[in-house]
């Protein structure tokens, strides 16, 4: 594909994941939190200036997250930080909350705002699969996340996306099936047996 990427429109995001409210910036989003319009119980995230609902988690979704979290914490040394369902600040209109973001520890130390860089982002996808493939993949690539994994619950596979290009798309995309092992290109020693997430 050629040409510059076009960020997902508010209408496209609404169709994919249920629009909550349109806004323009992260500052507006946080003002809504401070004013009590959005609270801790609101399962939402900001994508391309749109507040979208986060899909509810099935028990399988929760179990896979639990197992993957345990593997990440066991595999990675202290020079890396693992953020679990916490915001990443990407530009001034997106603050997604991926299931996991792995970053250098020094990039996670600010007390004033979420980090804006990650080495690996992982989304565990059931109902959110289309959004994670069509919207978030382009968002993460555009902001230079070098590696993005989608754990596809229905297919019992991990989609691995690497090498974000200047067009805001990942140039290398592969699928690791249930019998395979996903290996990170950016985090030495991180290997995840796909069937270990489901058994």
CATH for 67: 3.90.1570.10
Non-local (6+) Cβ contacts of 38 within 8 A are 29, 32, 44, 51
Q: Quick check: is 68 in a domain? A: yes
pLDDT of residue 114: 84
Enclosing domain of residue 88: 55-198
Q: For the chain, what percent of residues have pLDDT higher than 70?
A: 87
Whole-number Å distance between alpha carbons of 86 and 45: 10
Q: Quick check: is 49 in a domain? A: no
pLDDT of residue 1: 36
Q: Quick check: is 30 in a domain? A: no
Q: Quick check: is 18 in a domain? A: no
Tens digit of each residue's pLDDT (9 = 90 or more) over 155-168: 999 999 999 998 88
pLDDT of residue 113: 81
pLDDT of residue 17: 47
Q: How many domains does the chain have?
A: 1
Lowest-confidence region among 18-27, 90-99, 109-118: 18-27
Q: Quick check: is 26 in a domain? A: no
CA-wise closest residue to 123 among 155, 158, 154? 158
pLDDT of residue 173: 97
Query: Half-sphere exposure (CA, 13 Å, Cβ side) for 40?
Result: 0
Q: Quick check: is 162 in a domain? A: yes
Q: Is the pTM higher than 0.95?
A: no
Tens digit of each residue's pLDDT (9 = 90 or more) over 128-150: 999 999 899 999 999 999 999 99
Q: Quick check: is 15 in a domain? A: no
Q: Quick check: is 47 in a domain? A: no
HEC-encoded secondary structure of the chain: CCCCCCCCCHHHHHHHHCEEEECCCHHHHHHHHHCCCCCCCCCEEEECCEEEECCCCCHHHHHHHHHHHHHHHHHCCCCEEEEECCCCCECCCEECCCCEEEEEHHHHCCCCCCCCCCCEEEEEECCCHHHHHHHHHHHHHHCCCCEEEEEECCCCEEEEEEEECCCCCEEEEEEECCCCEEECCCCCCCEEEHHHHHC
């Amino acid at each position: 594909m050629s040409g510059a990427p076009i960020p997902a429109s508010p209408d496209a995001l609404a169709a994919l994941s249920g629009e909550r409210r349109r806004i323009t910036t992260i500052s507006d989003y946080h003002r809504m939190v401070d004013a009590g319009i959005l609270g801790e119980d609101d399962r939402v995230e900001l994508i391309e200036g749109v507040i979208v609902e986060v899909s509810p988690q099935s028990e399988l979704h929760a179990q896979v997250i639990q197992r993957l979290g345990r593997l990440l914490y066991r595999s990675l040394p202290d020079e890396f930080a693992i953020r679990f369902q916490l915001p990443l600040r990407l530009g001034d209109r997106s603050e997604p909350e991926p299931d996991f973001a792995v970053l250098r520890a020094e990039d996670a130390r600010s007390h004033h705002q979420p980090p804006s860089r990650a080495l690996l982002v992982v989304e565990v996808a059931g109902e959110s699969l289309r959004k994670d493939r069509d919207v978030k993949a382009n968002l993460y690539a555009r902001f230079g996340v070098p590696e993005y994994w989608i754990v596809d619950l229905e297919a019992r596979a991990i989609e691995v996306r690497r090498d974000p290009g200047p067009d805001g798309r990942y140039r290398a995309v592969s699928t690791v099936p249930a019998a395979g092992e996903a290996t990170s290109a950016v985090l030495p020693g991180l290997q995840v047996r796909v069937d270990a997430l489901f058994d």
